[in-house]
């Protein structure tokens, strides 16, 4: 009975920049965390190699977006080449396709010189390569790279059907020749129909993938880990290897999929963490009478749980605290800044608090009837809450005017450089709390307005 494992990873975004996190504590000017973040994506690459060795995998699949753009750093290219070469020399071949973030205009920039044991698939069409180990072809890998920065063609439709491509010349037979063909795998960076929040590059449907008849589709592009289909055919997004922000798809543990194959069929796929720094969110609701000491205790306890779960990895957290009453003392101006400073002062070494937001838990519609600025803002928030499409359009419009919106930008903080509908709704709620408390025209707000004047 032939049994082996392979590792499926995607969206490494090597040497990716982490914007909006320059104020994190940890060394002069936040240099400690800045360095940790700068090395995080490369550390995830090293972890890929470690897991591959520890689990004795037969091969590794890289499903695109190896880099974060054509302007990738030299150290990222050198590290990738070194890791792939080391794995190949240890008998662990790698198979790569390019995604929309890779320098697709110049595929040679990925591997300036070929590495024996490393296969980079062609652009715009599917190529086929055998995964060989111990004198047997364990799998046939079919892969296609993006051929342009905005690949709009359905590349999945260009893959051959299972059984249509003979074993490449010189490839040894499968472990059990009488049992038929080896496992066939599709390797592609693509946006599956129905997946929101990602650009529709190399769009395809489940039917396109299932029609190929492969045992496993190793996909990349979607940063949220998901097993789309399992059974006769597995369709899997492993997510990215290193989180990059507080977006829902970037939070939590990040890594790859360790896939177990028995008798030419996928039996099991298990997530393995690869990340070096995690982005997490703490969401609490407190009563109006909650004091600052009690709130700090709850936040510190939540932060400690995140650090324990990260098992030695760094954790960057933000907190959203919903206060049960609009006029509660916790919502007074300056409270969030003071509490955040204390959190940072007492945080363990592996935890950095990026932001703390205190917002009223009350529904904005409860204030919508007032005939003042607070009432008008509450009415607007209630309307946006009832119409997600209009809320998204409004968020895009406001985001484009952020330099003129000092008070809102201050509420959002540096960790939210590109606010979406949810972020602006919370910022609006926080501003509403200040209006109701009579603190809208505090000195900080005035200073922000002056600072952002053209």
3-state secondary structure string across 321-370: EEECCCCCHHHCCCHHHHHHHHHHHHCCCCEEEEEEEEEECCCHHHHCCC
What is the pLDDT, as a whole number, of residue 363?
61
Residues 6+ apart with CB under 8 A from 15: 38, 41, 42, 67, 68, 72, 73, 75, 76
Query: How far is residue 335's CA from residue 215's CA, in Å, rounded to a whole number?
Result: 56
Query: How far is residue 372's CA from residue 164's CA, in Å, rounded to a whole number?
Result: 71
Query: How far is residue 380's CA from residue 387's CA, in Å, rounded to a whole number?
Result: 11
Query: How far is residue 82's CA from residue 84's CA, in Å, rounded to a whole number?
Result: 6
DSSP 204: B
Tell me how far CA of residue 118 lies from CA of 33, 75, 85, 150, 449, in angstroms. Answer: 34, 19, 8, 25, 56
**Element of type H or E holding 86:** helix 74-89
What is the pLDDT, as a whole number, of residue 160?
96
Provide the b/e sequence for 365-380 (b: ≥16 CB within 10 Å).
Answer: eebbeeeeebbebbbe
Residues in the chain: 454
pTM score, two decimals? 0.81
Rounded to the nearest 5 degrees, what angle is found at the Cα of 249, between the Cα atoms of 11 and 227?
Answer: 70
Query: How far is residue 147's CA from residue 98's CA, in Å, rounded to a whole number?
Result: 8
pLDDT tens, per residue, the chain with 454 residues: 579 999 999 999 998 877 666 567 764 444 578 888 889 999 999 999 999 999 999 999 999 999 987 766 788 888 999 999 999 999 999 999 999 888 777 777 777 778 899 999 999 899 999 999 999 999 999 999 998 888 999 999 999 999 999 998 888 988 875 557 899 999 999 999 856 666 788 999 999 999 999 999 999 999 999 999 999 999 999 999 999 999 899 999 999 999 999 989 999 999 999 999 999 999 999 987 889 999 999 999 999 999 999 999 999 999 999 888 766 788 888 889 999 999 999 999 999 999 998 887 766 666 666 777 777 877 887 787 778 788 778 777 766 665 545 555 455 444 444 556 666 666 676 676 666 543 333 333 322 332 222 3
Domains, in order of start, for the chain: 3-273 (3.60.21.10), 278-451 (no CATH)
Tell which residue, 318, 398, 385, has the closest CA to residue 351. Answer: 318
Query: How far is residue 425's CA from residue 322's CA, in Å, rounded to a whole number?
Result: 13
Residue with tokens 């896939």: 259
What is the pLDDT, as a whole number, of residue 453?
28
DSSP 168: P
């Amino acid at each position: 009975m032939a049994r082996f494992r392979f590792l499926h990873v995607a969206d490494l975004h090597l040497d990716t920049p982490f914007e909006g996190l320059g104020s994190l504590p940890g060394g002069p000017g936040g240099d400690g965390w800045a360095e940790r973040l700068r090395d995080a994506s490369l550390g995830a690459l090293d972890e890929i190699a470690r897991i591959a060795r520890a689990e004795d995998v037969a091969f590794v699949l890289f499903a695109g977006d190896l880099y974060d753009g054509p302007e990738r750093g030299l150290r990222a290219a050198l590290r990738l080449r070194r890791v792939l070469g080391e794995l190949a020399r240890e008998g662990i071949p790698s198979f790569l396709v390019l995604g929309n973030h890779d320098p697709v205009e110049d595929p040679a920039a990925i591997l300036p010189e070929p590495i024996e044991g490393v296969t980079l698939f062609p652009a715009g069409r599917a190529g086929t390569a055998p995964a060989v180990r111990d004198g047997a072809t364990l799998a046939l890998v079919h892969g296609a790279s993006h051929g342009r920065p905005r690949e709009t063609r359905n590349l999945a439709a260009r893959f051959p059907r299972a059984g249509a491509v003979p074993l490449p010349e010189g490839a040894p037979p499968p472990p059990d020749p009488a049992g038929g063909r080896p496992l066939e795998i599709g390797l592609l960076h693509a946006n599956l129909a129905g997946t929101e929040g990602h650009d529709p590059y190399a769009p395809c449907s489940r039917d396109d993938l299932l029609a190929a008849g492969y045992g496993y589709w190793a996909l990349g592009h979607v940063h949220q880990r998901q097993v789309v289909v399992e059974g006769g055919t597995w369709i899997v997004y492993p997510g990215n290897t290193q989180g990059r922000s507080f977006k829902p798809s970037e939070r939590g543990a990040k890594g790859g999929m360790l896939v177990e194959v028995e008798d030419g069929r996928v039996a099991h796929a298990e997530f393995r963490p690869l990340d070096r720094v995690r982005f997490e969110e703490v969401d609490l609701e407190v009563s109006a009478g909650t004091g600052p000491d009690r709130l700090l205790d709850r936040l510190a306890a939540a932060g400690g749980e995140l650090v324990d779960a990260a098992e030695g990895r760094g954790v960057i957290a933000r907190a959203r605290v919903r206060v049960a009453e609009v006029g509660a003392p916790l919502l007074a101006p300056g409270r969030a800044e003071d509490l955040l400073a204390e959190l940072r002062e007492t945080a363990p070494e592996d935890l950095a608090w990026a932001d703390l937001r205190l917002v009223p838990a009350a529904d904005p519609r409860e204030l919508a009837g007032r005939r003042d600025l607070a009432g008008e803002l509450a009415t607007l928030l209630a309307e946006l809450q009832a119409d997600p499409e209009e809320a998204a359009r409004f968020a895009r419009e406001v985001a484009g005017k952020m330099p003129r919106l000092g008070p809102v930008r201050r509420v959002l903080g540096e960790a939210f450089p590109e606010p979406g509908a949810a972020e602006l709704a919370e910022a609006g709620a926080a501003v509403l709390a200040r209006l109701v408390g009579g603190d809208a025209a505090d000195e900080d707000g005035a200073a922000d307005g002056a600072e952002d004047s053209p």
